[in-house]
A and B are shown apart, each in its own frame.
Chain A
């Protein structure tokens, strides 16, 4: 018997740091879901008729769909009539500039370490802050607009750039795609919208910070990124939620459209409330993220650090349609206590000489379950397609599980697909070795885990890599020794 087990018994989970909530007067939809609720949301957002129709169509599709059961996660059946589909702090409706935002709301973000004051912001990062169902503000809008870059909340884009929204909404993830995408299409509330014009290299990181505050409320964010020919953008998404006993639903859709020679880097640091150490509460994170490399030589790169949520169901994918296009997926998924993650990617090779790279690092501790699910599909005309997949699992203790489900589907014999997988345990040997050099056990775990995840963390923008490292250490704090 290994000492690991005994050490793990002494488990004392560190409290989730962002578990607080704030009271504010909210504008809320009644609980439950029906066509009237959708009309209510659409009216609230003063949406054009076509968008309401689009939502209603999605709703009817969703009504006839079955909740997917194939993921390696277990949870009680969701009652979609007990969810609130819209909640917004009252004041934000009319604000046009950052100065007009209710200081109480700004405080929420300050407390999260996200200052919306442009002077105080880290240079080089623009932020869109989404609270429950609405965006409360977007920084550096003017600076960016000088370059023709549009970075605003999705709701604002519907008002200001309806043609772009109409053209691209649902073009990568159609409402029919899956159960949660259909649900999102019916009820989505807010999210970010980015448009990078032809030949423009976005000079700063664009980021959205999602925060769920209200109880019983689902967050259904919708993000759309359009990169015109030869453009470049790096986008980062972060998220937290208060600690609540009930499970809350987060069903997002992210669509990326990359044209010829365009490059989009999308990074996520997901830290939704994971539930307490007995598995009570936590966010159900059912997310559809997909990008299309529509033009030749385009590139989409997903990097995700998944530390939160009770359940994660998420497969950021790339459709490699343009010739020579490149898709990448770098992932670290950490689960502790009773968390369950089923995450991975899909790389669909359609164009010639398309290349994809998958690096997935799962870390399981406590009684958690961590699955990698990935699909590499090479279509008939994708001559010379290349894929490399590396899927590693790291186990801490023997009460958790790590699973790998790679699906490979090749219709062109010139394809080269490589898959490597490893499973290892944080050894008591490694920890003792660190201890013997004077390093405390917590720090040893952080060192070992960050070493293990290094290849993925290296993909993140510098400032966030440091944050992510701390987050990994924090999530696993107390999981050994």
Chain B
């Protein structure tokens, strides 16, 4: 579904990603871990098409297409979804209105009829249950004055509505209390199918107890320096990143 080859990206001339290789197949869950500033959000942003990042080398193939060639909105319409680490507030625009615009633009791209108000509301109702989100939150301005946890939950709600093929969750667990974490994880698991894939960026093993990854990768200084199965996450939880940093230092010598 997604193949990243030797991806290099920089921002304002500073290289951040320095040769990422990653292969993701439908149905898989990949966890990406790594110290602060290692480039996790950068990778997510580059995949989503944020324009400040300049891709200097490498390629990304998504469903057989050159992902880097598509505009951010077309990537979204092709099924790439990013749950933001810091969701943006849009005053005066309700989540409902926002999502309806989004859903219908995605549908238009796919040659489908727009959803009428009734059908859209029933879709909303169904997905609201899934992530246990309050109707009241959705009639408020998008993310405005939402608590940290509410913002994250709203991201997963949007993901549920848009039903993406590739979801990238950037630290969706940070700011969530234990119960919310379970609800969000449960939502993600229910949306999981053999056709879609998920990239979970996290610092904590805890989330991975609920969303069990097929692979765990460690990102360090813009490269994936170690990959393994879910036990790698446990090992990191236990030992921190120093031993990996040492390993990298030794191989570099």
Give the B-binding residues of A (Cβ under 8 A): 1, 3, 427-430, 432-441, 443, 447-448, 450-455
Contact = CB atoms under 8 A, between A and B. Distances in A.
* Top 5 A-B pairs, shortest CB-CB distance: A451-B92, A451-B93, A435-B72, A437-B102, A438-B76
A430 B49 contact: no
Given A439-B105, A451-B141, 14 more contacts: A1-B12, A427-B88, A432-B72, A433-B87, A435-B49, A435-B73, A436-B84, A438-B106, A438-B162, A443-B105, A447-B98, A450-B93, A451-B90, A453-B92
A430 B88 contact: yes
B219 interface: no
Nearest to B142: A451
Contacts of A443: 101, 105
B14 to A, nearest CB: 14
Contacts of A434: 90, 98, 102
A430 B77 CA distance: 18
A234 to B, nearest CB: 24
A454 B90 CA distance: 12
Given A438-B109, A447-B98, A3 B52 contact: yes
Nearest to B77: A438
B82 interface: yes
Most buried by B among A430, A438, A448: A438
A390 B12 CA distance: 38
18 contacts: A1-B12, A3-B51, A3-B52, A430-B88, A434-B90, A435-B73, A436-B49, A437-B99, A438-B162, A439-B73, A439-B102, A439-B105, A441-B73, A447-B97, A447-B98, A447-B101, A451-B91, A451-B93
Most buried by A among B71, B89, B90: B90
B60 interface: no
B48 interface: yes
A455 B92 contact: yes
Chain A: interface secondary structure?
helix
Nearest to B106: A438
Contacts of A453: 92
A352 to B, nearest CB: 35
B145 to A, nearest CB: 14
A440 to B, nearest CB: 5
B50 interface: yes
Contacts of A438: 73, 76-77, 102-103, 105-106, 109, 162
Contacts of B198: none
Contacts, number: 79
Interface in B28-82: 48-52, 71-73, 75-77, 81-82
A473 B51 CA distance: 23
Contact of A436 (B12, B72, B89, B103): B72
Interface residues of B, number: 34
B158 interface: yes
A145 B51 CA distance: 61
B158 to A, nearest CB: 7
Contacts of A451: 90-93, 141
A440 B74 CA distance: 9
Contacts of B93: 447-448, 450-451
Nearest to B143: A433
A443 B104 CA distance: 12
A403 to B, nearest CB: 21
A374 B158 CA distance: 41
B92 A450 contact: yes
A428 B72 CA distance: 12
A448 B51 CA distance: 20
Most buried by A among B48, B82, B102: B102
Given A3-B52, A432-B72, A437 B98 contact: yes
Contacts of A450: 92-93
Nearest to B83: A436
A450 B82 CA distance: 25
Interface string B86-129: 01111111000111011101100100000000000000000000
A436 B48 contact: yes
A437 B75 CA distance: 9
A436 B82 contact: yes
A439 B104 CA distance: 9
Contacts of B97: 447
Most buried by B among A427, A441, A448, A450: A448
Contacts of A1: 12
Contacts of B158: 437
Contacts of B84: 433, 436
A112 B225 CA distance: 65
Contacts of B52: 3, 428
Nearest to A361: B92
Contact of B90 (A3, A435, A436, A447): A447
Contacts of B71: 435
Contact of B73 (A427, A430, A440, A454): A440
Contacts of B12: 1
A429 B181 CA distance: 26
A430 B158 CA distance: 16
B9 to A, nearest CB: 15
Contacts of B109: 438
A20 B185 CA distance: 58
A206 B125 CA distance: 41
A112 to B, nearest CB: 28
A103 B99 CA distance: 46
Contacts of A447: 90, 93, 97-98, 101
B101 A439 contact: yes
Contacts of B82: 436
Interface string B149-160: 000000000100
A455 B77 CA distance: 31
A180 to B, nearest CB: 34
A441 B72 CA distance: 10
A121 to B, nearest CB: 27
Nearest to A394: B91
B87 A437 contact: no
A451 B90 CA distance: 8
B38 to A, nearest CB: 22
A435 B80 CA distance: 11
Nearest to A433: B88
Given A436-B82, A437-B158, A429 B88 contact: yes
